[in-house]
Amino acid sequence: MFQRLYKKCLNLAGHKNSNFYLGLVSFIESSFFPIPPDVMIIPMVIAKKKTFIKIFLIASIFSVLGGILGYLIGYLFFDLAMYVIELYNYEDKVENLKSNMSKGSGFLAWLSILFLAGFTPLPYKAFTISSGLIAFNLPIFIIVSLVSRSLRFFIVAFLSYKFGELFTEYMNKHGSKWSTVIGILIVIIFVFIYLFLKLNG
């Protein structure tokens, strides 16, 4: 199922209404959908480089709006929240998030959790739903989600903008798949984030 959804999202990136579908995927990924918007952002930016800012903004804004939906699911619908969490086997991740959220106080402690949820493979949907489950401060949730998701999607869009032609040339020569390109970019992003956190830790 995952591969089918993955390929469907790649196809939607080339659709004439790709901006709409990017917004939709960004929205639902924040609460229950398994495919991240990065899968669409990269080919969309490579195909329409002049609009990379618009693409990154669409992904960021709708991801945060979807995050609010995830928060409300956790806050208002406990059974549904637990169903989504169990569906993706996120129980341990959510427990770790809840444990981390309960330790310390202040914006910096929360910001470190945000960066884990917003940038790393730690699923953002687990972050949004568990925030609702523990009734975390909603305005702060929205602010830190906006910062986290905007930074992530800007990095993805910018790297696609800067190096997209190199990836396209590689694919034409070697018949590579989009998954290779996306994998390379994700590795670059994680290295960048690791160095950023290391320098500011």
Per-residue pLDDT tens digits for 133-155 = 878 788 888 988 888 888 888 88
As a dihedral over the C-alpha atoms of residue 121, residue 145, residue 38, residue 20, rounded to 10 degrees, the angle is 150
pLDDT band of 175, cuts 50, 70, 90: very low
Q: ∠ CA 196-37-47 to the nearest 5 degrees?
A: 100
The domain spans of the chain are 2-200
As a dihedral over the C-alpha atoms of residue 32, residue 59, residue 156, residue 97, rounded to 10 degrees, the angle is -40
Contact 77, 42 (CB under 8 A): no
Burial 119-158 (b: 16+ CB within 10 A, else e): beebbbbbbbbbbbbeebeeeebebbbbbbbbbbbbbbbe
Predicted pLDDT at 105 = 47
CA 130 to each of CA 36, 84, 177, 199, 200: distance values in angstroms, whole numbers, following the listed order: 19, 11, 35, 29, 27
pLDDT band of 81, cuts 50, 70, 90: confident
Per-residue pLDDT tens digits for 20-69 = 999 999 999 988 888 888 888 988 998 888 898 999 999 999 999 999 99
Its pTM stands at 0.76
The kind and range of the H/E element at 154 are helix 138-174
